[in-house]
A and B are shown apart, each in its own frame.
Chain A
Amino acid sequence: EVQLVESGGGLVKPGGSLRLSCASSGLSLNNAWMSWVRQAPGKGLEWVGRIKSNSDGGTTDFAAPVKGRFTISKDGSKNTLYLQMNSLKTEDTAVYYCTTDHLYCSGNCYRYFDNWGQGTLVTVSS
């Protein structure tokens, strides 16, 4: 069974930085595509960014609102995913989830998020 546990959320001032962690058990992060998804209070889900598996290059992609401010990395020895958030804005306030970005192929190949962490709350406020 895959378990993802996020940590690192908290209160930070605008312009500040925060690093979120997502510890994985039951799944090697080196072999998985992983995404971060956030949800502002009372709002819908927003994809933040992803990191590909090592065999697919380990590259990252980001949504426009966070591009240039957020980075994603992973530590294979700790089996932990990270989201480094810099130059934080009040609109970054949200619960942040890490999730497995799973590929299923049957004719076409389809992506979906099948394992989610419990989320960690980031509040950006002065």
Chain B
Amino acid sequence: DIQMTQSPSSLSASVGDRVAITCRAGQSVSAFLNWYQQKPGKAPKLLIYAASSLASGVPSRFSGSGSGTDFTLTISSLQPEDFATYHCQQTSNTPWTFGQGTKVEIK
């Protein structure tokens, strides 16, 4: 199984801050990397697919980059509705695996 490791596990930030979350794969997953946002008590929501493609309806302040083993999700200007947990997922090899999640909290 491909292990996915996110860092940090949590962070505190203020509205308007630029935030970056990294995801590292245990082996190359090419660009088969997705990002999801999850709010408490809710299902995850797709943000980014194929490492850098923005899902439909997702604000342009979200962006994804990287390939191979190292990926980054960037929020250019954090908004109040962005406080949530973010998960990366590889779909290069089954079993599809997720990172442990990064919780973005209000400073």
**Chain A: residues with CB nearer than 8 A to chain B?**
35, 37, 43-47, 61, 63-64, 97, 104, 106, 108, 110-114, 116-119
Contact of A111 among B1, B32, B55 (CB under 8 A): B32
Contact with A along B68-80 (1 / 0, CB 8 A): 0000000000000
A and B contact pairs by CB, cutoff 8 A, 18 listed: A35-B96, A44-B99, A45-B36, A45-B44, A45-B87, A45-B89, A61-B94, A61-B95, A104-B49, A108-B30, A108-B31, A111-B32, A111-B91, A112-B49, A112-B91, A114-B49, A116-B43, A119-B43
Do B49 and A117 have beta carbons less than 8 Å apart? no
**Chain B: residues with CB nearer than 8 A to chain A?**
1, 30-32, 34, 36, 38, 42-46, 49-50, 53, 55, 87, 89, 91, 94-101
* Chain B residues within an 8 Å CB radius of A64: 1, 95
Contact A44 B44, CB 8 Å, known A61-B94, A64-B95, A108-B31: no
Do A110 and B31 have beta carbons less than 8 Å apart? yes
Min distance, Cβ B34 to any Cβ of chain A, angstroms: 5
Min distance, Cβ A92 to any Cβ of chain B, angstroms: 16
Nearest 10 interchain pairs by C-beta: A116-B43, A111-B91, A112-B49, A110-B50, A45-B98, A47-B96, A44-B100, A112-B34, A63-B95, A44-B101
